[in-house]
Structure formats: C-alpha cells, structure tokens
Amino acid sequence: MDQEKIGKFILDLRKKNKMTQKEFADKLNVTAQAVSKWENGRGIPDIEILKKISTEFHINIDSILNGTEQKKKISKKYIIITIVILILLGLTIYLWLSPSDYSFTDVTSTSEKFNVSGVAAYSSDKNSIYISSIEYLEGDKEEKYVGMECILYESHNNLEEKVSQCGSLKDEIKTPKTLSELLKDTEFKVENFSCTNASIKNSNLYISINALDTSGNITTYKIPLQLTGSCN
C-alpha cells in the first residue's frame, strides 16, 4: 500500500466533493488533523474509517487502498447480459458485481501499556500489513533514551521470524527522548507478508521494542498484536 497515493486519492475525493478538511472530517467523525495527516501521506485511515469513506462517497475500498478509482467495464457488461437474459427468459438472476480481491482486518494490541493502530489486507495470494501508529500509555513514567529499534515478529512453533524492522540501536541520537517521542513517527509497511499459518488472521504477531538509555542499558517492551474486525 502506497500511503502517498492513498493520501492523494483522499485529497482528490474531498476536493471533488467540494469539502473543506473540517467538513470532510466531520462527516467521518474524525479530526481535521487526521484528514491532513492522510492527505500528506503520513498515515492511512483505519478499517472502520475506510468502510465509512466507502459508504459515504460510494467508492469501493480497493480504490482507496490502490490510490486510483477502479473501472467497472466488466461489471457493466455483466449487467447488460443479465438484462438480456431477464427479458428473453423471464428469470430473476442475482449477480454479485465488482467482487473485492481483498479482505481487511484491524491490527490492534491487547497490551495495557501500548495502543496499536493498523490494518491488514489479504487475498488468496497476497498479504499486506500496515501499522500506522504505536502509542505508549504510561507517559508519566517515561525515561529518556538515546536509541530505539522496533521489530515486527511472527512466532510459530516456538520459532521467531523477523518480519520487518524500524530503526536501529546503532543510530544513537544526541538529545535523549522519551519512548512516546521516539514512537511518534514509527510505522510498519509490509507489502508481501508470507505468514506461516494458512490464514493471516491466525498469525501470532508481536512487536519488540528495544530502547537504549543514557547509561547504555537496554529496556525491552513486547507488544502482542491481534487481527480482528474483518471486512469483506
């Protein structure tokens, strides 16, 4: 998923409907800041907002995630054929038009210390995961760190496989920052995720955060993930 293309698509959709960012945000029950973030390619809506955009503006979710409106020439052909058959045979035929290639599910966490927001898209031959934000909930207890790395793992049969990584402990910063500050721009985008389970929704995924403090000590946080709220 190309979040810049998604952002441009949302921007064009808003302008096409002659709406300000605030009007667009109010229609979706989100903030104008969230809309601005999407349009600037710094994040994408979660699965519930994607469904709401699809419903409110009569556009399928595939179009939003692909960043381009999907043409329906084949579907129109099916409609014409259906009408002809109905006229000639007097039969009532129900067709499912424009089937979506993808299904979608939210990516969240059961952790009491972290909030995770993301979405996974999956089909018979491709899985993608996008985690847009990781929020630390114990800000009043935060220490300062000079380095951090976030690693997305899949665990299967007591084996751990690294799926993706953000940052490195080798990249130390001059001015120490809190964990919340370091996580502010952290995100994962995995286009071709080869899960070990038959279904991505049954994958045992988690994020491991290693934070390096000013004394050279490393604190590790483990954030279990869950994939829920499917949408077809």
Residues 171, 155: Cα–Cα separation, whole Å: 27
Give pLDDT, residue 156: 78
Which CATH number does 3-66 carry?
1.10.260.40
CB 152 within 8 A of CB 162: yes
Whether residue 212 is predicted with pLDDT greater than 90 in this model: the reply is yes
Domain extent listing, the chain: 3-66, 71-100, 103-231
Whether residue 97 is predicted with pLDDT greater than 50 in this model: the reply is no
The CATH label, of 2.60.40, 2.40.50, 1.20.1050, 2.60.120, for the domain at 103-231 is 2.60.40
Contacts of 95 (CB under 8 A, 6+ apart): 78, 79, 82
Give pLDDT, residue 217: 94
Say if pTM beats, i.e. exceeds, 0.75: no
C-alpha closest to that of 184 among 62, 46, 43: 43
Per-residue pLDDT tens over the stretch 39-57: 998 888 888 888 899 899 9
Average pLDDT over residues 57-64: 86
Q: pLDDT-based confidence at 141, cuts 50/70/90?
A: low
Q: pLDDT-based confidence at 230, cuts 50/70/90?
A: very low
What's the whole-number average pLDDT of the chain? 81
Contacts of 4 (CB under 8 A, 6+ apart): 41, 67
Per-residue pLDDT tens over the stretch 29-40: 999 999 999 899
Residue 53 exposed, middle or buried by CB count within 10 Å (0-12, 13-18, 19+): buried
Q: pLDDT-based confidence at 93, cuts 50/70/90?
A: very low
Whether residue 183 is predicted with pLDDT greater than 80 in this model: the reply is yes
